[in-house]
Amino acid sequence: MKKKSNGLTIVIPIFNEEEGIVRILPAFEEYINQSKFEVNLLLVNDGSTDKSLSEIRKAAAYYEHVDFISFEKNAGLSAAIRAGFEKSTSEWVGYIDADLQTDPLDFLKLEAMIPDYDLLTGRRTGRKDSAVKKMSSTFANWFRDSMLHDGVHDSGCPLKIMRRSVALDMPFFKGMHRFFPALTLIQGKKVIEIPVKHFPRITGKSKFNVWNRLLSPLLDTIALRWLKKRQVDYTITENSITSPKAVINE
């Protein structure tokens, strides 16, 4: 068997998804078998109030490639993703929602573009969301791109792979997961968007509401535009600390 390259950790935030957790691990089997990486899954319990944590513990005990962390209380999607990236030790990290409205097999499409890009993000085609959710997402994506010029059509797609070092260099704030492409570009790194499949939600309940998917992201976009405008670039042309100083023996 061909030896696989360095590891990839897929972070899966979970909040009140007890019915769907039993679907997550089997859904990854085909992808893990075909991946060029040694894939590990990191389940992040975001303070669930149902039996999600119990199901997560069972999964981690049964599957060798599965780990988990659990929050004391709900902290939000951005916090769950960030904590997962921080706890990971692999060079590359990924992210997918627990509702499996995106297909783990589509990670293979993103892998195909590694290492030419620092962030590889999906673009959902044929979205199976409600009309209100699709309309708000379309407007939010248009507004974000108009303000930030990141060239991405579906910034919030829950299927991504990125360099862990790039992810950890991003400023952390509530809602940051919607701005991974812009935050990557601000670092001078490379981003590519790749079409992926999208499916209806089967279990659990959508966390969508007007505030968390429209009003709050618009305010965050304005704040990030200000940050981008205030960005300072500099180049060091000479320094005296690139190598250890010589020790003089008298």
pLDDT band per the 50, 70, 90 thresholds, residue 131:
low
In this structure, the number of other CB atoms found within 10 A of the CB of residue 81 comes to: 24
Is pLDDT of 245 > 60?
no
Distance CA 208, CA 205 (A): 9
The answer to whether 70 touches 59, Cβ cutoff 8 Å, is no
Q: How does residue 246 score in pLDDT terms, banded at 50, 70 and 90?
A: low
Q: What is the pLDDT of residues 203-220, one digit of tens each?
A: 656 655 555 556 677 777
The pLDDT score that the predictor gives to residue 250 is: 47
Average pLDDT, the chain: 85
Kindly indicate the confidence band of residue 67, based on its pLDDT and cuts at 50, 70 and 90.
Answer: very high
For the segment 14-30, the average pLDDT, to the nearest whole number, is 94
Confidence band, pLDDT 50/70/90 cuts, at residue 238? confident
Q: Percentage of residues in the chain with pLDDT exceeding 70?
A: 78
Please give the domain boundaries of the chain with CATH numbers for all domains: 5-229 (3.90.550.10)
184-188, 202-206, 227-231: the lowest-pLDDT one: 202-206
Sorting pLDDT into bands at 50, 70 and 90, what band is 74? very high
Non-local (6+) Cβ contacts of 232 within 8 A are none
Q: What is the CA radius of gyration of the chain?
A: 20
d(CA 52, CA 16): 6
- Average pLDDT estimate for 163-181: 92
Report the pLDDT value the prediction gives residue 201, as an integer from 0 to 100: 74
Per-residue model confidence as pLDDT tens digits over 80-116: 999 999 999 999 999 999 999 999 999 999 999 999 9
